[in-house]
Every structure is written in structure tokens, then in C-alpha cells.
Amino acid sequence: MRNTAFIDLGFCNRRHTIETNPVEIHRINVEFEKFGPECNHALVGETVEFRFALRNRSQMDFRNVEFRDPLARGLEFVEGTFMVNGRHRRPHVHRNEVQFRIEHLRAHEDIHISFCARVVEDRHPGPRPPSGPGPGRPPGHQLIDITPTEE
């Protein structure tokens, strides 16, 4: 692609055209998928797993890609469960958001991330799902809504 700049010298009513360095334009094509529990409710004390796929379909590399996943209310990150491409890593968890920096995402590379969260309590009162006896649910146990929310 040809890169041209026009310079207007107002004081002499002349317009000059100069050639500058070539510019490369790359199409950014990065896919991101999140996989979580099949239902939006879990019992207090249960552990749920989240899996992510980051796919770089571009012709270019990316540096310092930030992974951030805010946990839904009622969930807390389980230390020691965060993995990137099958290897244990240590993320930063701040205000119940799991954060990790991917230093180098190469062209055509896939990165797989997973971690677990424990259902702790519903910190936001409001309508609740049914509790008590049910399929796979002991009597008197409270189901917690673990649907992600935007805050």
C-alpha cells in the first residue's frame, strides 16, 4: 500500500506531496470462546470449572494480551487450578476478577485456559432459584445463581 502525506504550506499557497514509509495493514482475526457449567445454578460448596479457547487466526503475533474473567456473584477462585495449555500458572485475582497476561500470542496459535471456582454464597439478595429436595440436591441445600453479570 502506498502511503502519501499532503503538506499544505499556507503562507505560500503551495501544496506539496511527499512519500512516507510503507504501511502494512493486517486483518485481526482472534476468536475467543468460554465454556462453563451446563446450568446456571450450583450448590454452595460445589466447584465449577471454566474453560476458554483463544485462537489467533491472524497473520501477525500479539504481545501482552490481557485475559480477564470476572467471576459471577457467589463464586470465588480456587487457588492452584489456573492452567494455560495444560501448565499451571499463577493469575492475579482482583475484586473477584481472574487476570492473566499472555506475553506472546503467535500467528495461528491456540491457547487454552482453564480454572475452577467454588460456590460460596449469594452475596446479592434477590429472587432465588428453588431450593430443597430435587434431582441431585440434598434437602435444605440452597442453589446459588452463578450466571455471569456485568457490573
Reported as a pLDDT band with limits 50, 70 and 90, residue 26 is: low
CATH number reported for the structural domain that contains residue 96 in this entry: 2.60.40.1170
- Is 13 part of any domain? no
First to last CA, the chain: 43
Cα separation of 92 and 87, whole Å?
16
Number of domains observed in the structure of the chain: 1
Q: Which three cell numbers stand for residue 142?
A: 440452597
The parent domain of residue 74 ranges over 30-123+130-145
In percent, how much of the chain has pLDDT > 90?
40
Q: What is the pLDDT of residue 1?
A: 44
More confident residue, 59 or 121: 59
Q: Which three cell numbers stand for residue 102?
A: 499472555
Q: Which string of b and e fits 118-130 if b means at least 16 CB within 10 Å?
A: bbeebeeeeeeee
